[in-house]
Structure 1
Amino acid sequence: MTHALMNRRSILAAAGLALPGLALPSRAQEQEQPGPFRFVAGDGQETDAERGFFEVPEDRHIPGSRRIRLGYVRFASTSANPGPPIIYLAGGPGGSGVRTAMGNRFPIFMALRAVADVIAFDQRGTGLSAHIPERPASPAPWPALTHREMTDWYRDAMQKAWVDWTRAGVAMTGYNTEQNAYDIDDLRRHLGVEKVDLWGISYGTHLALSVLKRHPDVIGRVALASLEGQDQTVKRPAHIDAFLDRVDRLLGEDPVARAAVPNLPALMRRVHARYEAEPAIVTISGATGPADLKIGGFGVQLMASAMVANPPTLSMLPGVYLALDAGKTDVLSPLFPPPDRYFSIAGMPEATDLASGISPGRLALIEKEAKTAVLGDAFNMPMPHLLGAIPGVDLGEDFRSAIRIETPALLVAGSLDGRTPLEEQAEVIDQFQRKTQVVVENAGHNVFESHPEVQTLLVKFFGGEPVSDTRLSLAPPKFALV
């Protein structure tokens, strides 16, 4: 049973960016010297690659800002006449492109070499491009997983960390999507090419939209999955409710599951109310031994927010809620990682989300919807909970405004993506004027590796071959009831 991680960046890690089950090297083990090397994927496959670096200002708005080194891994094209390099933009924010290439998307990285060089890029603040000092986890006693204690903890921890990093000489104001977008153009110049193509997922699409706004003429094609729009750092609770209604209808197609769970959203609401009134004390295993954690209804909502991203964990949801409804709180222990893993502030993810922010109109709508939504505002933790914690970092309404995109685009979505539901993605799709859409029925947030035909379509698209709107299908998830 996999852990359900407890915040926006960790939810995406739980959705696949953490690559569970693979023996990945720690950052300390990663060699950081430029040049050719033998790239080893998590499953042991190997290939020739090149590690490269280039420098950029940490904050382009600060004269004389210190320069930081950004890193990438290049997989050379096998084509005699390669097209523009394909730059992979990881999700998160906080995901590493290099580490993603070690996981389930490794075959796609290899297949795309048939049309161009493929660049696994580590965005500023991640992997080979990490320049924010690591902070120790918050010491016990841990805050309870209730709305008030978690919000207070995040705001306090972020403010203290910001002060410490600033005193250490880190320009924290440089860690945002606007600066990240300029990094992509600097990477293009470093590679010595007129144009690049973009391949991204989740936050990587949020970044791609910012690149297209600032540098449209240097982008040839984009293939984007699990879209996150310019003003979608915080997801609408009503869209999450619509997704849960779809899951409930799927449950209804199984007579046994329907008998056990007559109405999934109603069951979830009942469990949330029960544990909000009387939180559970759950023992969680940690690096320093077992720790007791107080989990209220908000904590259960946080857990569910992680589980809905992809079918493997989504399928566990009814059984977990049935157990909680029966008072079996031991079911929670394997779903929560050690407290010292998620009571921590990394820097890049939180600063980036704070800067992307949310428009006043959308914030008002989300606050209204959250009052009655199944998962309340837990789904987006730690946003908008962190809003205002660090004044003056919001990138503003121009950053969040929609644009008209003429760049050829392949847009891929999974019908059971509970992280960026179809309703959320529909708000973004209309910006693309030259788009081809691929929907994979019963795939989740990690849609790129969900169906073998997706890889084929990606290779055709980046190779300039015509690709038509396509609907692929996977078997529906089998819901666990115990």
Structure 2
Amino acid sequence: MTQTSLHRRALLAAAGLAFPALALAQTIVPPPAPAPNQAGPFRFKGWRGQDTEAERGFFEVPEDRRDPKSRKIRLSYVRFASTAAEPGPPIIYLAGGPGGTATRALSGPRFPIMMALRESADVIAFDQRGTGLSNPIPERPASTRPPPVLTQEGLTAYQREELQSAWADWTRAGVAMSGYNTEQNADDIDDLRRHLGAEKIDLWGISYGTHLALSVLKRHGDRVSRVALASLEGQDQTVKRPAAIDAFLRQVDGLLAADPAIRRAIPDLPALMRRVHSRLDATPLTLPTTLNGAPGELKLGGFALQLMAGALIANPQTLVMLPGLYLALDAGMTEVLTPFAGEFANSLGIAGMPEAMDLASGISPARLALVQREAKTAVLGLALNFPVPQLLGVIPGIDLGEAFRAPLVIDHPALLIAGTLDGRTPMSEQDEVAAQFRRKARVTVENAGHNVFEAHPDVQGLMVRFFRGEPVGDTRLSLPPPTFKLG
């Protein structure tokens, strides 16, 4: 296992702490390679063999602005020059996660959107602090500790010890880990604006990128013109409500009813999932895998399956696998998990930036009490949000507090995009965030998932019109419903 595995929530833009292959197997491509540490022009390698002229740049910021002794860190971005005669404010892309890499995301299926947006303004792929070429956190060697049984208790205890150890190692190495939070990340965006020489900027973000955008609006809103945001995550939504995920699974169960054969095989999907989780909690199964480059094994409790399901429900492309996997496991066919052995091993890794960001954003006491109450009976419990709230308090003093999590009233023009089959940021949670925007157009894509920007071809055109300043009204687009297969 490595300590640089991607974070569980970064799956929405570049992968997750666990199960990156499940969540974005179709979209991951290598980041741009030429002269990565040199500023200046280069050919950016895009989606499906396309490439384009681009310019790599760097600027420096304090690692922790609250500490005058903090070191300076170098942050990286790639600029795609506008083709417009009179470009608008630069459009800064904010990747999800936390832990997603903007340059990687825009070299995937969002590359055509980026190219189209150049008709309006420069597009900036900004690698946030702790990601991509903006990552000054040293890589740690793989842990030699024996892996825990992958129950919530076992994995939580393991991760708490690993994060404490990693935090201490990084601090001794001179890394100001307390600087890795969304407020400092938002201040980096304003420093980038100044570095670019722009009076104002536009924001384009997804998932955690929307969480970051809200902080930019709160701290530097007078320097932002307009925002296009998808798969919204609010200031106090780092931890999603288990009841919202239960409602989503009932929605999926309703889709299964459209196929009589599947309905006969699975009369009640949530009940099937609960049964499999309970069985593994009572008797964890052993799964051969590779640990530290050598043959090993993991013991999986029900929590491990809940983690896997939390990744699968992000997008329809992987959601369709869920019923068949659970039906096979219910029949004792545990070999269906063999292709995912490496993903379970990846759940043991600590990356640094993602954990620090999530723990700093935290959760309000009232929401935590609600989440814990709902989790007691929810199908996925607290697995969707791991490692929060499980790791709360492991690093004292980093929570940003209630002022950070407080909602705001937003008057900026906003294009808000959502998919009805998004199991990571459910529509009910997104509706709460959308209510903060006074001047918004909502684009709802029926049967799209979390990666909604590239899900429907009409989204690109709506975004181009929006960033040009043309009127865009509430829009409902539709995709065919997913086709579930049991074999």
TM range (shorter): over 0.9
Confirm or deny that 1:429 pairs with 2:434.
Answer: yes
Match of 1:442 in 2: 447
AA aligned to 1:412 is I
Q: Is the 8 A contact 2:9 2:15 kept in 1?
A: no
Confirm or deny that 1:392 pairs with 2:397.
Answer: yes
Confirm or deny that 1:462 pairs with 2:467.
Answer: yes
The alignment's TM-score, normalised by the length of structure 1, stands at: 0.96
AA aligned to 1:256 is A
Q: Is the 8 A contact 2:82 2:119 kept in 1?
A: yes
Match of 2:9 in 1: 8
For each residue in 1:110-166, what CA deviation from the matched residue of structure 2 results, as whole angstroms up to 9, or x when unmatched?
A: 110010000000000100100000112323532111111100011000000000000
Q: Is the 8 A contact 1:275 1:295 kept in 2?
A: yes
- Change in Cα spacing, 1:336 to 1:26, as seen in structure 2 (3 Å) is farther
1:198 pairs, out of 192, 197, 203, with 203
Instruction: Report the Cα distance in structure 1 between the residues aligned to 2:173 and 2:10, rounded to whole angstroms.
Output: 24
Match of 1:132 in 2: 137
Q: Is the 8 A contact 1:317 1:480 kept in 2?
A: no
Q: Is the 8 A contact 2:253 2:270 kept in 1?
A: yes
Q: What aligned pairs does 1:42-57 form with structure 2 within 5 A after superposition?
A: 42-57=47-62
Match of 1:34 in 2: 39
Confirm or deny that 1:225 pairs with 2:230.
Answer: yes
Q: Secondary structure of the equivalent of 1:476?
A: coil
Match of 2:309 in 1: 304
Q: Is the 8 A contact 2:359 2:391 kept in 1?
A: yes
Match of 1:316 in 2: 321
Confirm or deny that 1:91 pairs with 2:92.
Answer: no
Instruction: Report the Cα distance in structure 2 between the residues aligned to 1:204 and 1:321, rounded to whole angstroms.
Output: 32
Instruction: Report the Cα distance in structure 2 between the residues aligned to 1:272 and 1:171, rounded to whole angstroms.
Output: 40
AA aligned to 2:8 is N
Identical columns (%): 66
Q: Secondary structure of the equivalent of 1:304?
A: helix
Q: Is the 8 A contact 2:106 2:114 kept in 1?
A: yes
Q: Secondary structure of the equivalent of 1:217?
A: helix
Q: Secondary structure of the equivalent of 1:102?
A: coil
Instruction: Report the Cα distance in structure 2 between the residues aligned to 1:29 and 1:264, rounded to whole angstroms.
Output: 48
Q: Is the 8 A contact 1:271 1:325 kept in 2?
A: yes
Instruction: Report the Cα distance in structure 1 between the residues aligned to 2:224 and 2:379, rounded to whole angstroms.
Output: 40
The alignment's TM-score, normalised by the length of structure 2, stands at: 0.95
Q: Which runs of 5+ in 2 are unaligned?
A: none
Confirm or deny that 1:326 pairs with 2:331.
Answer: yes
Instruction: Report the Cα distance in structure 1 between the residues aligned to 2:442 and 2:263, rounded to whole angstroms.
Output: 33
- Change in Cα spacing, 1:69 to 1:357, as seen in structure 2 (3 Å) is same
Q: Secondary structure of the equivalent of 1:423?
A: helix
- Two-structure CA RMSD over aligned residues (Å): 1.9
Q: Secondary structure of the equivalent of 1:48?
A: strand
Match of 1:377 in 2: 382
AA aligned to 2:263 is R
AA aligned to 1:147 is Q
How far is 1:284 from its partner? 2.6
- Change in Cα spacing, 1:305 to 1:365, as seen in structure 2 (3 Å) is same
Q: Secondary structure of the equivalent of 2:42?
A: strand
Q: Secondary structure of the equivalent of 2:287?
A: strand
Q: Is the 8 A contact 2:276 2:326 kept in 1?
A: yes
For each residue in 1:193-252, what CA deviation from the matched residue of structure 2 results, as whole angstroms up to 9, or x when unmatched?
A: 110000000000000000000111110000000000000000100000011011011111
Q: Which runs of 5+ in 1 are unaligned?
A: none
- Change in Cα spacing, 1:336 to 1:438, as seen in structure 2 (3 Å) is farther
- Change in Cα spacing, 1:28 to 1:158, as seen in structure 2 (3 Å) is farther
Q: Secondary structure of the equivalent of 1:43?
A: helix
Instruction: Report the Cα distance in structure 2 between the residues aligned to 1:5 and 1:169, rounded to whole angstroms.
Output: 23
- Change in Cα spacing, 1:408 to 1:11, as seen in structure 2 (3 Å) is closer
How far is 1:28 from its partner? 8.5
- Change in Cα spacing, 1:14 to 1:129, as seen in structure 2 (3 Å) is closer
